[in-house]
Amino acid sequence: MGSLLNPYISFAGDARQALEFYQAVFGGELSLNTFGQFGQTGDGADQIMHGQLTTPSGYTLMASDTPPGMAHNPGNNITVSLSGDDDAELRGYWEKLCDGGTVNVPLEKQMWGAVFGSCQDKFGIYWMVNIAEWQG
């Protein structure tokens, strides 16, 4: 698997409905994970922590609900996501994107098993990098 570049959209509690709508528009396979599946209880546990639509045309659209306590700012709700298993390539992109920008989540191992980080580049664009462990 190489690297992927695709949009990642944040919603204010309606990510499931939005992704189901996009699936109806574009077709494809939809995968949804809730915050509750990763241990959150109570308010927001049924909201989408990560959703991914992979279409027959090769498009990938990712989205999530804004976690409780974080601000949802319509108009600033698009993040570019880079993901794959090429560690060196993705770390290289990460370093360049962070140069002159702000690291929001350091690039490090996460509870879902991947190495993940998020930053805002010097132009104000939000990026996420997810490096999957190769399963051979």
* DSSP one-letter string for 113-126: SSEEEEEE-TTS-E
Is residue 53 scored above 90 in pLDDT? yes
* Paired sense of beta strands 29-34 and 102-109, if any: unpaired
Which pLDDT does position 6 carry in this prediction? 87
DSSP 8-state assignment for residue 41: -
Q: What is the pLDDT of residue 17?
A: 94
In-domain check, residue 78? yes
In a domain, 109, yes or no: yes
Mean pLDDT of 48-77: 86
Residue 114 belongs to some domain of the structure: yes
| Residue 31 confidence (pLDDT) | 97
* Residue-number span of the structural domain to which 107 is assigned: 4-131
pLDDT digits (tens, 9 = 90+) for 103-127: 999 999 998 899 999 999 987 889 9
Q: Is residue 60 part of a domain?
A: yes
State residue 134's pLDDT score.
57
130 CB-contact burial (10 Å; exposed 0-12 / middle 13-18 / buried 19+): buried
108 found inside a domain: yes
pLDDT at 136: 46
Instruction: Specify the pLDDT at position 44.
Output: 85
CATH number where 115 lies: 3.10.180.10
Q: For the chain, what is the domain count?
A: 1
pLDDT for residue 74 is more than 90: no
Q: What is the C-alpha to C-alpha distance for residues 13 and 31, in angstroms, rounded to an integer?
A: 17
Kindly state whether residue 136 falls inside one of the protein's structural domains: no
> What do you get for the CA distance between the two ends of the chain, in Å?
12
Q: Does the residue 36 lie in any domain?
A: yes
pLDDT digits (tens, 9 = 90+) for 8-29: 888 888 999 999 999 998 899 9
